[in-house]
Amino acid sequence: RQRKRRELVLEKLEGRMESLIVQGKEGETVNSSMFASSFMTFCIYPRFLLSPEDALFCSHFVKLLHRVKVPGFLTIELIDNIVNAVIGSLYCMTEDEAGNCSIFLNEIWKSVNSWRYDNDDFAATLKDTPGSQLSKEFAQEHGIEDHSLTSGITHDDYKAIYSRWHHKIGSAALGCLKSSEYMHTRAALIVLSRIVLVFPTQPKAGERILKTLGPLQGDDNERPDIRATAQGYCSQLTKARDEGMWKEENL
């Protein structure tokens, strides 16, 4: 029964996907700069922090809409909004919300990393899809040429965008780890420890995180739970580095 229901939903989605996102006056899909922020605000953000199941559902729903190539579904801009939402939420999350956020981010970042470091996967699942296209406003803001409006971004374009996302998440995480507020540090450690197999991938960010973990692991840390979590994450991060998770910056 569940399989039949799934097939029915997919069939209905594919049948209606041409009209899911606002169309232009001449029947052409408009790459609206409002789409990604609106979709994130009203469809994803209210749900992905609620529970592990909701977080997993949201990540798979995003991937599904990208995979079926819904016209006007600007995956790159949506991920940009996801990054901005996550780094803002890090400073006001509960422990449960941090755990749910890490599930959602981990699933999304698997694809983000694959498109960055696997040329074949980029060509097969992102290049020349609606998800690779940008709105004019986003392209201008990030200095990307007009080809991104119709044919989508190139791999070089994506590498530059990826580096900005990586830097944003790394900077926010470092800020939380250095914070004197207990929940800032706690939330960051929960999220980072659960995405350790997908983030960080750039050595500079990884080394900065390792350096920042040092004081949190010391015996003079009056918060034993923070100390234990920091020690555990440090071990995980070191293992990920030694197993080749960190890539060269210029790949």
**Confidence (pTM):** 0.91
Residue 25: per-residue pLDDT = 52
R_g of the chain, CA atoms, integer Å? 19
pLDDT at 17 over 60: yes
Structural element, H or E, at residue 230? helix 224-242
pLDDT at 77 over 90: yes
pLDDT at 26 over 70: no
pLDDT digits (tens, 9 = 90+) for 102-150: 999 999 999 999 999 999 999 999 999 999 999 999 999 999 999 999 9
Tokens of 170: 């790394």
Residue 251: per-residue pLDDT = 45
pLDDT at 237 over 70: yes
Torsion of CA 4, 60, 147, 17, to 10 degrees: 30
Residue 4: per-residue pLDDT = 83
C-alpha to C-alpha distance for 16 and 29, rounded to whole angstroms: 14
pLDDT digits (tens, 9 = 90+) for 150-197: 999 999 999 999 999 999 999 999 999 999 999 999 999 999 999 999
Per-residue confidence at 92, pLDDT binned at 50, 70, 90?
A: very high
pLDDT at 12 over 90: no
> What number is the average pLDDT over the span 72-91?
96
pLDDT digits (tens, 9 = 90+) for 194-233: 999 999 999 999 999 999 999 999 888 889 999 999 999 9
C-alpha to C-alpha distance for 105 and 213, rounded to whole angstroms: 21
C-alpha to C-alpha distance for 67 and 43, rounded to whole angstroms: 18
Burial tier of 19 (Cβ tally within 10 Å: 0-12, 13-18, 19+): exposed
C-alpha to C-alpha distance for 241 and 237, rounded to whole angstroms: 6
Tokens of 249: 């910056």
Between the alpha carbon of residue 191 and those of residues 118, 142, 165, the distances in Å are: 25, 27, 16
Residue 21: per-residue pLDDT = 72
